[in-house]
Structure 1
Amino acid sequence: MKAPHVVPYQGSKRKLADDILNIISDIEIETLYEPFAGSAAITLAAAANDLAERYVIGDKFAPIPALWEMVVNTPQESADEYETVWNQQLLDGVHEPEFSYDHFMNVRQDFNREQDPIQFLYLISRCVKNAIRFNGNGEFNQSPDKRRKGTNPKTVRTNMLSASRVLQGKTEFISGDFRDIIRNATSNDIVYMDPPWQGTSTKKDTRYAFTLQIDELIEEMEDLNRRGVPFLLSFDGTCGDKSYGKELPQHLNLQKIGLNAGKSSQAILLGRDDETIESLYLSPALIQKITPVA
């Protein structure tokens, strides 16, 4: 089943979801955890194909799990709210509509004050390249894309209803540190982690509301290994001759595979053929589950 696509932000694993989930499609999964959820692409694809009994959608940036809880539990009402915000940008309902810069900026200002999840969805759908950006105070500061109007409310409604159908009644939503979100994971579960990439998770970088200390991530993977919890990690990669991040410590015993994510948007703009290869790391406990017994 095709997975619904609700949150259209740059960096989503939607295009790679099938490749990632093919690795775990033949094992029994009690709970699939996604503690850096964002667009929740892996959760949505897994749920659309009934790969787990339960799902946990979590993120440190509170509007993300709050948005998903609204989408899953109250899809019609959430779609109505999005449609209201979207329609307010239309300055002229008779002629070809203009799309108000002022409206976007007002929504952005309101969101930074109130942290409303539906306003956040509108900002993502309407901002430049669907590329979220934050300032040093953690405030959304990306500009509107003047060439388009953002995802049409009818499309949003369809996708919200589809997401609700596959996730309602079997999903938990948690706002907080990734270590707290996966604290109860067991050997019968799967944890998929897609944290801020190495090389793009610095104080000067503005694409994430929070940065991540790699030492914390390594310590948590060590703990998951000790507990025998299977996990997958998307964390670095290459684009042409440019590499992002350093190798993770060998003592973690991770198996690294490369997934072709296609041409990067930046390469296309520059007229180059550079392809992005994203690294996916498999934990020892996961490798043991998917390796056939001789």
Structure 2
Amino acid sequence: MATPHLVQYQGSKRNIASEISSYFPKRINRLIEPFCGTAAVSILAAKQNKVGKFILNDINKPLVEMLELCVKQPEVLYRQYEEIWNGQFVEGTNNIDYFYKMREKFNQESEPALMLFMLARVVKGAVRYNNNGQMNQSCDKRRNGTRPELIRNNAIQISNLLNNRTEFYNLDYREMLLKAQPGDLVYMDPPYQGTSNTSDNRYYQGVDYEELVNALKLLNDKNVDFIISYDGMTGEKKHGKDLPDYLELTHIFINSGKSAQSTLLGKKEITYESLYLSKNLKCVYENRAEQLKLII
């Protein structure tokens, strides 16, 4: 059975989550995601029975509240979403105008089901915010958003995987990392370099490179294992600076498929996601490399 996902979300690691989880240590007390997004990695880890407890955090409060309602009360989220989704088909309603009406309502109320509807209908599942923190992404005019029945099916599956063993937070990632202890695994997927300015409207909040490096050093000092997805390369073009050598990380690249942007430009280039493993996970990487050699 396929791993459930609630809704489209730009930047989700759903397509490479199985590759990421292959570098998990055998014993994990808690999986902590400080930049959880739609929690693709945690959902897969729960499905694979690799982890028993989870902490999901994101600075985007409506996103976390949407996930929490999905996990704790999936039927409530489904019914609320269904009512909003059906509203665009009421006789005499223009579904594009309806989207912008719901976006305005979301910017006033930020309810979980409205967040879900926004993600289901915005272009590429990509949330955008203005300088006042209000969503300003455009509507995808080609589609009506995920059908409620599919939302319900996936929400129930996600709830079955994560309910009663997940904590939810809306904190700065540095505050969340203070909660990490030896035996935990922290998986991080921060906004990438070049999209991380605090004024960049592609993200609710950016992440400073030096602050991130200092946070990773503190995890090393606490002997907390971590994995971080951070930039990568398209074709031969590298994105951003590597994380510094003194962190003693193992740096690998994961093939994430053809670059959509390059395809639009008539090029055939592959995108590779950078994945960094903390120093204690080097043995996991080496063991997996040996296994792959045996398969080949």
Common fold by TM > 0.5: yes
The answer (yes or no) to whether the contact 1:2–1:48 under 8 Å persists in 2 is no
Rate the CA distance shift 1:135–1:17 in 2: closer, same or farther, 3 A. same
Ranges in structure 2 where 5+ consecutive residues have no aligned partner: 288-296
The answer (yes or no) to whether the contact 1:198–1:244 under 8 Å persists in 2 is yes
How much is the aligned-residue C-alpha RMSD, in angstroms?
Answer: 1.6
CA distance in 1, matches of 2:56, 2:226: 15
CA distance in 1, matches of 2:13, 2:94: 29
**1:240 is aligned to 2:235:** yes
- Structure 1, residues 74-128: CA drift from partner, whole Å, max 9, x if none? 00011101111111111449xxxx8611111111111112121211111111011
CA distance in 2, matches of 1:99, 1:173: 36
Measured after TM superposition, the shift of residue 14 of structure 1 is 0.2
**1:104 is aligned to 2:103:** no
CA distance in 2, matches of 1:107, 1:44: 29
Q: 1:231 aligns with which of 204, 211, 226?
A: 226
The answer (yes or no) to whether the contact 1:238–1:277 under 8 Å persists in 2 is yes
Ranges in structure 1 where 5+ consecutive residues have no aligned partner: none
Which amino acid in the other structure matches residue 277 of structure 2?
L
1:39 maps to 38
Query: What percentage of residue pairs aligned between the two structures are identical?
Result: 41
Which amino acid in the other structure matches residue 23 of structure 1?
Y
Give the 3-state SS of the residue equivalent to 1:65 in structure 2: helix
CA distance in 1, matches of 2:199, 2:257: 27
The answer (yes or no) to whether the contact 1:257–1:279 under 8 Å persists in 2 is yes
- Structure 1, residues 245-273: CA drift from partner, whole Å, max 9, x if none? 11111111111000011012222222321
Residue range with higher mean Cα deviation, 67-76 or 258-267: 258-267
The answer (yes or no) to whether the contact 1:29–1:188 under 8 Å persists in 2 is yes
Give the 3-state SS of the residue equivalent to 2:98 in structure 1: helix
Using structure 1 for the length normalisation, give the TM-score: 0.93
Q: 2:251 aligns with which of 249, 256, 261?
A: 256
Q: Runs of 4 or more off by more than 4 Å in structure 1?
A: 288-292
1:54 maps to 53
1:1-294 map, 5 Å: 2-24=2-24, 27-92=26-91, 100-288=95-283
Aligned residues: 287
CA distance in 2, matches of 1:232, 1:89: 41
CA distance in 2, matches of 1:27, 1:233: 18
Structure richer in helix, relative to its length? 2
Which amino acid in the other structure matches residue 278 of structure 1?
E
Give the 3-state SS of the residue equivalent to 1:20 in structure 2: helix
The answer (yes or no) to whether the contact 1:99–1:146 under 8 Å persists in 2 is no
